[in-house]
Structures are given as C-alpha cells and as structure tokens.
Amino acid sequence: MRRRFLSIFLVIILICLTISSIYADSIYIVKKGDVLWKIAEEGKTTWHELTKINNLKNPHQIYPGQVLKLKDGVTDSNKDISELDMYIGEGKGCYGTIQVGVSLEGDKIKDILILEHNESPGVGEIATKIIAEEIIKHQSIAVDAVAGCTKSSSGVLAAVEQALGKAGVNINDYWKEVDKSITQIRGKIEKKADVIVIGAGGAGLAAAVSAHQNGAKVLVLEKMPLVGGNTIISGAAYNAVDPKRQSALGIEDSIEKHYTQTYEGGDKLAKPELVRTLVEKAYPALEWLESMGMKFKDDIFTVLGALWPRSHNPVKPIGTGYIETYMEYINKHSSDIEIMLSTKATELIVENGRVVGAEAENPENIVIAKANNGVIIATGGFGANINARNHYNKMWPDLTNLKTTNRPGATGDGMWMAENIGANLIGMEQIQLLPTGEPNTGSLSGSIGHSVEDRMFVNKDGNRFIDEGAKRDVMTKALFQQRDSWMWIIVDKKSYPTGDTKNNFDETIDFLVEEGIAFKADTLEELAVKIGVDPINLVKSVETFNKAVEKEIEDPFGRTLFKNKIDTAPYYAGARTPTVHHTMGGIEINTKAQVLDKDGKVIKGLYAAGEATGGIHGSNRLGGNAVPDTVVFGKIAGESAAKDNPNL
C-alpha cells in the first residue's frame, strides 16, 4: 500500500514537472546528444548544481525526454492538472515489473515516464528510456526492441499498451508500422580529435580515459545506442595478484603463477610478451580504477575457469562499476571527450601509409573523423556473428544454433576494418564456449553459481561428470558428451544464506526461484524430483563430493579447489548449457598496443585493445582474465596513441 501511494505521489510530482515545461527559463527537456555540462552552461549554472537540484544519481545518464529543473524551487503553472491525463501501465521486464505513466494530449502520446523498474543499471535501465523516446517519436508501440535488451524493451511496450487501454483509446491506432526508410539525404560532417576510439565498451572507454590523462582530446564512435559493450553485462570478475587482499585471506599467489596458468591454460599459443604484460599490469590497472573511485570487495574468489583464487568482485553489480567509473571521468571532462552513439565506423582512413582517422555513419550523417595522433580499435570480438564464428570454427560442433553471452554489437567489425588495410589477424579459430549458459537465452545471467569452490555439476542422470574447477574448454567439451548437453549446478544454503542473497549478476535467489530459473528444496531427494534426475544418483554424487571436501578420498575427477560441503538445506539447482562466450583471436598487437601487419611491422597510427585483439589468451581464456585485458591494454592503447606524434 505504501509503495502504491509512493507511486501515485511520484506521478503527481512528475505531472507537475511536465506542466511546468512552459517555463523555458526554469526547466529543460533533454534532447538527443545533450550532456549535462552543456545544459548547465546554457542555463548559466553548473552541472554540480543541476545534479543536486534534480537528485541525479548518475549525472552522465541523462536521457532524451527527461525534464530537468534549471533552478531550485521551480513553481508549477496555473494550468489545471485535470487538463492533462496520465495513465499507469505495467509490463514484465527482465527483472520484474516495469511501471510507466503515459500522458496524452488528445490522442497524441505526449510523454512516457518510467515510474518503477528493476532493470540492470546502464543496460536495461537505459533501454527503457530509449524505447519510451521511440514510442513518442513514432506515436507507435510497433517500434523495435533495443538490441541486446529485448525483455526490458518488451516490458515497456507492454506497459504502454496497457496504459493506452486504460485511456480508452483505439489501441490499433498505435500499432501502426514504423517507417524505417531514410526520407532525407544524410549530411556529411567532419570531426577532429587527437585520438579516435572506435567502440565504447570496457576497452574503448579505458582507452579514452587514458588518452585524455595523457593530454589528448578524444572522440569515441559507438555503433550501439548505449555504452558498455560486453563489459557492462559481464560477471565482472577481475583477476590480479593482489598483495593486500590475498595475503589477508591466506591465499598464496604470484605473478609467475598467474603467468604460467594463463600461458599454459591457453595451450602455450599466446604471445608470451602479451601474457607477461597482462599479468604484471593487472594489479596496477586495478589500482588505477580505484584511483578514479571504483570500489572492489575485499573477498577473493575463483570464477569459473580461473584455476586459482585471484578473482576480484566490484561492489557495484555486474560490470556497471567499470563503465560508471569511466563515464564519471568522461562526464567531468566532456569538453575534451565526446562520445557519438549509434554511429558505426565503416572504414579506416589511410594517408601516406598512416592511419589518420575513420569514416562512420549514423541515421543523420556520414561522419569523417580525423585523428591528429592515432586511432584505437576497441570493437570487441565476433561472438554474436554466426557467419564469422562458423567460418573460423575448427574445434567445436556447428555453432549455428548455439546462443551467446555476447551483446548484438559483438560482430567483429573492427577486425575486418583493420584487415582491409593490411593488419594481421591471429588465432581466429580460437573460440571459447562456456558450459554455463542460460538454456533459453545463452546469457550468463540466472546462474546460481558463486565461487568454484562451493558448487558441483551433475548431468540429467544426477551424476557428476567433470572437475568443476577445470579449464573452460575442458568443461564444455565434457558437457557436450552429456545427454542433451545439459547440466545442473547444485549449491546449498551456504551459497545463499537468505532469500535476498544475490548471485554474481545482481539477481536474488528468491527471484530466480520465483521465475522458475532455479529450483529449491529442503532435501536432495526432493530437489532431484523437481529437476527430474535420479534421486539416488544425486545423493550419491553429493556424498562423494563431500568426502572429497573432507579429504577422506581423492576426488574421482581430480578436482582440488574445494571449500565447503554441500550439506545444509535449502538446496538449490539451476540448469545450464553450452554458449558462445569469447573469441580469443583478433588483431595482432605488440606490448604498446600497436597494430602489426602480416610482416610483423607496426601500422603507423593504429592501435587496438580488448577482445578485438588476438594473441593474449591462446586457445582458452582463463575466467576472470577478460576484464583486466580490457583495462590493461585499453590503458596502454590510450597512452600510446596520445603520445604518438606523426611528425617525429
């Protein structure tokens, strides 16, 4: 009841804000491409003041259609509130109910306010606002979902449809087909910066920040409508040898051990100098993030396939902490760093043997972006490109129907652009599959596993079949040998002491059980019945597992990473299947992140970082090594490009 009252109260306040929009000197309605500091400048105030007045949690996350007060104490107009109608609707998003308020002016949708939601910060949350903007723009609920955010988009669309139904209008009038044709000739604009970064994921934003810290003005081109890439939806584990946290927990580790496990874990196919750079600079790069305000938990764990407890977990959920840290910095320096969203780079510009820029396109313009110093490719891998992964795949069954953990933007664009001007691509056949994909979507979300030490896997017969602490490729190959390539993760109360305990993807165990993603039972026998496995086999598998934890026996599968027995109710199970996760191959670089041609020579003016590159992980990437890869080499690329003087 209290929550409903709060929602109604919120609606009234937001209606008042909408009405007050006639006072142009008192409020501002955000338009596409706006940034807070520019709005503040035009309103003769500061972005700090606007943040305070509007209670903005993330000043860099303003969105088109958002109403901002420019002055404190703005009064409402004399217009009668009853002249405006707002109707409430609800739809199911990715993580629960999305509630919207739809205001009409006659039959026209005037405004859509997102009143309540539990969508992922920086991902689904942004998608809800983009969809609302598109509905208003086209006066239609037949708009396309935001790529990679289908459930969040569908939740808003369903909520708006329900609200329109309550308004008593003819719903069919709002199901009109959206005209996607280009009705105007696109313009042509030129942009210039010291450093051009292609891609606004983890590696690209790290490069942008680093380049600016080294004196460069930066332009970032991102083809998707929102920043973050795969980093923002990742499990966020960050491997680094940490003298403070690991020592406090009694964990013995070393740079040499991390190097050996990474190099040998990739079957010694990586470039040793790149592996050395990664492991030696991982912790300094973590400290760099901390210097910009990012927070990590003190606990160290072993993420799936990490082989050793050196995985760090950010305080903020999934990969949002990394992206918010970069964007906080970028927002503070937005006069020197520009991000162009929905702007796809199509080719590199080469003059006199040097890369001097990139050509890109968006719905409005062809963009010619020129770089004074250098261009950085940080466009990610090709895990979402079915044709590319089938073309290069040599070690897995056909990947056509296999889902992926990747966002739709991971199509390998940067690799092909680099290859077209002579860059060397290496290790392209090395494609990583995970055994822990959500069966319906292929995503990482929904997994009930926390740390490797406290979980076990069983097949559809209730039997264990693999060392759960093995390399990812080893586990996935073993899973393909099981019936329907299907397994269950089994944990107990020690992993989820309370119903509101969250997994690594910011989902509570109660939510996962309510949604039918996870199953809960007071006994192993009851759990077995719920998930359809043989109760005798499941009980026996857990008993054997527990004996290995107690070191009464050697584990039948050679597992050595253990912590707790599985012996405390309630017990939980969650289904998982193979999914395409990471592409280890890509653009060949050196330790300065300079791109190399087929003869091993540096291509002047061109750099690359993140999953767009190859040679760092070999045939198999260790779990928890991807994020430090983006930070370490993104930071290096930014610094190298900023310091690249073409006149020397």
Residues 210 and 340 in one domain: yes
Cβ neighbors of 196 (< 8 A, separation 6 or more) are 218, 219, 220, 221, 357, 358, 369, 370, 371, 374, 375, 376
Q: SS3 of 436, please?
A: strand
- Contact in structure between 527 and 538 (CB atoms under 8 Å): yes
pLDDT attached to residue 592: 98
Say if 648 falls within a structural domain. no
Q: Are 122 and 57 in contact (CB under 8 A)?
A: no
Other residues' Cβ atoms within 10 Å of the Cβ of residue 428: 21
Indicate whether 245 and 109 sit together in one domain.
no
Query: Per the domain annotation, does 647 fall within a domain?
Result: no
Q: Of 142, 174, 206, at which residue does a domain stop?
A: 174
Q: At what angle do helices 626-642 and 272-291 cross, to 10 degrees?
A: 90
Compute the distance between CA of residue 475 and CA of residue 434 in angstroms, rounded to an integer.
Answer: 8
> How many angstroms separate the CA atoms of 583 and 611, rounded?
7
**SS3 at position 337:** strand
Distance, in Å, from the CA atom of 193 to the CA atom of 195, rounded to the nearest integer, reads: 5
Asked, for residue 93, whether it belongs to a domain, the answer is yes
The answer to whether the CB of 93 falls within 8 A of the CB of 67 is no
Same domain, 149 and 48: yes
Please tell me the predicted confidence (pLDDT) of residue 69. 76
pLDDT at residue 51, rounded to an integer = 82
Identify the domain containing residue 284 by its residue range. 188-430+584-642
pLDDT, mean of each 10-residue run, the chain (648 residues): 44 42 54 71 77 76 69 45 66 90 91 90 88 93 87 92 90 85 75 98 98 98 94 95 96 98 97 98 98 97 95 94 96 96 96 97 94 98 96 94 93 97 98 96 92 95 97 96 98 96 92 96 98 98 97 96 96 98 98 98 98 97 97 98 90
- Phi, psi angle pair for 10, to nearest 5°: -65, -40
Give yes or no for a cis peptide into 497 (omega within 30° of 0): no
Structural domain count, the chain: 3
Asked if residue 368 and residue 297 are part of one domain, the reply reads yes
Whether 2 is catalytic: no
Domain boundary among 580, 611, 632: 580
Task: Kindly name the residue from 455, 472, 576, 621 that is annotated as catalytic.
Answer: 472
Structure tokens at 98: 């999305």
Tracing tokens 């020579």 back to the chain, one arrives at 601
Are 404 and 495 members of one domain? no
What's the confidence (pLDDT) of residue 426? 98
What CATH number did the domain enclosing 549 receive? 3.90.700.10
pLDDT at 149: 87
